[in-house]
Amino acid sequence: MFQGKNVLVTGSSRNTGWGIAKVFGDYGATVFVHGRSLAQVEEAAARLGRQAGSRGGRYVPVAADVACEEDVRRALALIEARAGGLDVLVNNACHLGLGHGFLDMPIAFFDEVLAVNLRGYALCAQRAARQMIARGGGAIVNIGSNTADRVIPNRAAYIASKGGVESLTRAIAVELAQHGIRVNCVIPGYIRTERWDDLSEEDKQRRWKNIPLGKESTAGDIGEAAAFLASSKAGNITGSSLLVSGGIDIQLVPPDCSV
């Protein structure tokens, strides 16, 4: 599905981004595996390549701080020099924004979270879009969060940033449509990551009750959604958001709660 295509997945050295990168690689893409640490992304790309064997695409490491304009410029220039430019960008790099309630949150922390989760998305999308125009079009997929609409405590900066991601998606979808670039958003709910594995069994059971389908999403689930939106199968879809949450967003309260 993505043979001959160049794909950058930001924040793909581990967890959800790693799973997204694997999906695109399994579909034959050349995937640029990204993180802030070159050593970390080199290890991640090598591990992805070993798992793929002869079946999948290629994995190429690239390091950058997505909040830094010069870093993004340098990383995208490297991709253009090595591969001729991008066909697909998946904006996934994320600052989780943990550790502060709103009243005690330093505004510098708020700025730090938005610098990664919103400014970083805009910087990468802008640079990637310029390359896509030269290649005749492409696709951008932003990874949002259902907390943008269904908030949780003590994550104000993160939630604000993810609300911004959805608005940014719609805004640039309109502007880039004339260039044959589609821009969409995947909206996850719970995702199984390393943080999930640290939960107690009681907490896991409580979360599962909150999901009508009874299971959290995997990184592969998010990757498949991103791949669909980036593919020709979604060729007339832009400015849209695709929920991948097991049904959390359609349920008012879990079954064990009375209303």
Residue pLDDT, tens place only, 196-249? 888 898 888 888 888 999 999 999 999 999 999 999 999 999 999 999 999 999
Please, are residues 53 and 26 in contact by the beta-carbon 8 Å criterion? no
CA distances from 98 to 9, 102, 127 (A): 23, 11, 29
Q: Which of 27, 59, 158, 190 is catalytic?
A: 158
The proportion of the chain whose per-residue pLDDT surpasses 90, expressed as a percent, equals: 85
Q: For residue range 139-171, what is the model confidence (pLDDT) as tens digits?
A: 999 999 999 999 999 999 999 999 999 999 999
Q: Is the pLDDT of residue 55 over 70?
A: no
State the pTM of this model. 0.95
Q: Which residues pair with 121 in a beta bridge?
A: none
Q: Quick one: DSSP state of residue 14?
A: S
Q: For residue range 20-30, what is the model confidence (pLDDT) as tens digits?
A: 999 999 999 99
- Choice between 56 and 17, residue whose per-residue pLDDT is larger: 17
Q: Is the pLDDT of residue 54 over 60?
A: no
Q: Please give the distance of CA 158 from its chain centroid, rounded to a whole number.
A: 14
What's the pLDDT band for 252 if we cut at 50, 70, 90?
A: confident
May I ask the CATH architecture of the domain 6-248? 3-Layer(aba) Sandwich (3.40)
Q: For residue range 101-119, what is the model confidence (pLDDT) as tens digits?
A: 999 999 999 999 999 999 9
**Active-site annotation holds for 121:** no
Element (H, E) at 162: helix 156-176
Q: Is the pLDDT of residue 58 over 60?
A: yes
Domain ranges of the chain: 6-248
92: which 2 tokens? 């996934």
Q: Give the SS3 label for residue 69.
A: helix
pLDDT at residue number 204:
85
pLDDT at residue number 53:
60
Q: Is the pLDDT of residue 129 over 70?
A: yes
Q: Is 102 exposed, middle or buried (0-12, 13-18, 19+ CB in 10 A)?
A: exposed
